[in-house]
Chains A and B, each alone.
Chain A
Amino acid sequence: QKEVEQNSGPLSVPEGAIASLNCTYSDRGSQSFFWYRQYSGKSPELIMFIYSNGDKEDGRFTAQLNKASQYVSLLIRDSQPSDSATYLCAVKRAAGNKLTFGGGTRVLVKP
């Protein structure tokens, strides 16, 4: 079992719809959770992070964390063609600097 798992996709969504991405993790000691966006051939950029159970909203993005079920999700509202990218989930334990990444979910937003 991989430490951080994501559906590789592609997840195809029409423009204006909500894209829903999921990530599960195996380490119960994970305390911080991150979503990165990576355009093809480019480096990842941090979208948002979440520490506590529940929802965290930032613009069109909402991260949802459920530690009991060991999953974190990302919702992209009003999806735009510019949101077409690979979204990487990463987790970190309380101690140390190491991020563990999932394989990423490719999202395609169709006009």
Chain B
Amino acid sequence: DGGITQSPKYLFRKEGQNVTLSCEQNLNHDAMYWYRQDPGQGLRLIYYSQIVNDFQKGDIAEGYSVSREKKESFPLTVTSAQKNPTAFYLCASSRTPDEQFFGPGTRLTVL
């Protein structure tokens, strides 16, 4: 089945820890994105990548890092510099700039 997978579904982080969220797609999409969603709010763009080995900061990149070594994979690291990381993290991919398809999300909680 073609689609976008994210893991883990739930993640708990202690203060000062870095954690990495996985995003994989087998849709052969060039572009991939990371969004953050806080309760009752819309999505905010963290990072996006239009092609392998290239990525750009979104609106709220501080405290996050990404890599794009393979077309299928776009992992997001939440570093200890991100002071309020508790949120729902959504990965998306697109073949065209307009139609973005989302993965199931990872819910991150800071203990």
Whether B102 contacts A97 by the Cβ 8 Å rule is no
Whether B98 contacts A32 by the Cβ 8 Å rule is yes
Is A101 an interface residue, CB under 8 A from the partner?
yes
Tell me which of B11-19, B41-49, B64-72, B74-82 binds A.
B41-49
A1-44: CB near B (< 8 Å → 1, else 0) gives 00010101000000000000000000000001010000000111
B80-111: CB near A (< 8 Å → 1, else 0) gives 00000000001000100111111111000000
Given known pairs A43-B105, A46-B99, A46-B100, the reply for A97 and B42 (CB within 8 Å) is no
Give the residues from 52 to 97 in chain A that come closer than 8 angstroms, CB to CB, to chain B.
Answer: 88, 90, 92, 96-97
Report how many residues on chain A are interfacial, defined by Cβ distance under 8 Å: 22
Is B33 an interface residue, CB under 8 A from the partner?
yes
Whether A96 contacts B40 by the Cβ 8 Å rule is no
Whether B33 contacts A97 by the Cβ 8 Å rule is yes
Q: Which residues of chain B are within 8 angstroms of A34 by Cβ–Cβ distance?
A: 98
Is B22 an interface residue, CB under 8 A from the partner?
no
List the 7 closest A-B pairs by CB distance, nearest first: A101-B42, A43-B102, A101-B43, A103-B42, A97-B97, A43-B105, A102-B42
13 cross-chain CB contacts under 8 A? A4-B42, A43-B102, A44-B43, A45-B102, A46-B100, A46-B101, A49-B99, A88-B42, A90-B43, A97-B31, A99-B45, A101-B43, A102-B42
Known: A88-B42, A90-B42. 20 other contacts (CB 8 A): A34-B98, A43-B103, A43-B104, A44-B102, A46-B99, A46-B100, A46-B101, A88-B43, A90-B43, A92-B97, A96-B97, A97-B33, A97-B48, A97-B50, A98-B58, A101-B43, A102-B42, A103-B40, A103-B41, A104-B40
Interface residues of B (CB under 8 A from A): 31, 33, 40-45, 48, 50, 58, 90, 94, 97-105
